[in-house]
Amino acid sequence: MSDYGQHFWSNDASQGDFAETLNHIKKLYRSVTGRLHGAWDVRTAWQILEPGENRAPLPARLAVALVVLFLIWEWPEMAALMALRFEGALRPGDLLYLNRGDLRFPRDHGGTTQAVFVVLRHSKTRQRRDAARYQHVRITCATVAALLDRAFGQRDRAAALFSWPGEHAARSRQMVARFAAGLRALGVPYGQAQGYTLGGLRGGGITAYFEATGDLQLTRWRGRWDSMRSMEHYIQELASHEAFVRLPPSARARIFRLAGLLGLFVHP
């Protein structure tokens, strides 16, 4: 059932349908009571990583401020992962599955470009019949590339990028807890109703990329959408969020000041 839940997640199925399936099996087969913990952990991780409603997109300045804050706290791994998630418009689950071998620095891929390629072996859409077997993200931002190299460049190829031990659900909870701690330190609310969640990094990255290029086709490639229609709806909805506008002026000023320090940490 844990594998079945992963299959549901990978194919854009409903969290509710999976929960109903588990409850129905429990009702039909009383002997499985107490033996579905792994499957429920998958559901819990799914809820943490992908709440059911739209998430406010994380503004670029806030993303940069979080990266700087994590560097100050000596969390280089978390700083690099947040930068990667924003720049590459990755889904939260993508981060948990990445290992060092999935990062292809110029010295790894042997090409003439200075881009860093990120191979998504567990992409949410890869199991669709018409989808590519593996998807990838191309990182051209020198600052993000430097953060990735500093945090992960010397790791063993089999080592996970997010090194917290344990099962999928426990690791996802820890990542969310660290993200929420960063927001609270900046005076920014965590949560879907009035603030931001980890899922907002993908929306923020896509918003920033579309604002920079104005090109829907390039944005669709960046976000790895199969449907142009769903991507257009996604972008149209992002501008309606006002979470950043509602922040106190002092919190916004703190975010801008901290974001301005990034160069001192990455390119001293």
Q: Could you report the per-residue pLDDT of 141-158, keeping only the tens digit for each? A: 999 999 999 999 999 999
Residues 168 and 204 in one domain: yes
Side-chain half-sphere exposure of 93, counting CA atoms within 13 A = 21
Residues 211 and 81 in one domain: yes
Residue 119 lies in a domain: no
Alpha carbon distance 198, 55 (integer Å):
9
The DSSP call for residue 124 is T
Instruction: Count the Cβ atoms, other than its own, within 10 Å of residue 138.
Output: 14
Q: Give me the chain's average pLDDT, please.
A: 84
Q: Which domain holds residue 6?
A: 2-49
Residues 166 and 45 in one domain: no
pLDDT given at position 214: 87
Of 216, 244, 242, 240, which Cα lies nearest the Cα of 230? 216
Residue 155 lies in a domain: yes
Residues 191 and 218 in one domain: yes
Residues 17 and 70 in one domain: no
What average pLDDT does the segment 185-196 reach?
Answer: 86
Residues 72 and 179 in one domain: yes
Q: Is the pLDDT assigned to residue 126 strictly greater than 60?
A: no
Residue 258 lies in a domain: yes
- Higher-pLDDT residue of 209 and 226 is 209
Residue 81 lies in a domain: yes
Residues 228 and 157 in one domain: yes
Residue 109 lies in a domain: no
- Higher-pLDDT residue of 72 and 176 is 72
Q: Give how many domains the chain has, as a whole number.
A: 2
Residues 22 and 83 in one domain: no
Q: Is the pLDDT assigned to residue 129 strictly greater than 50?
A: no
Of 206, 232, 201, which Cα lies nearest the Cα of 80? 201
What average pLDDT does the segment 24-28 reach?
Answer: 76
Question: Which of the residue ranges 66-75, 133-142, 172-181 has the most confident prediction, judged by mean pLDDT?
Answer: 66-75
- Taking only the tens place, the pLDDT of each residue in 218-264 is 888 888 877 676 676 666 555 556 778 889 999 999 999 999 999 99
What average pLDDT does the segment 88-94 reach?
Answer: 83
pLDDT given at position 125: 52
Residues 255 and 179 in one domain: yes
Residue 36 lies in a domain: yes
Residues 95 and 177 in one domain: yes
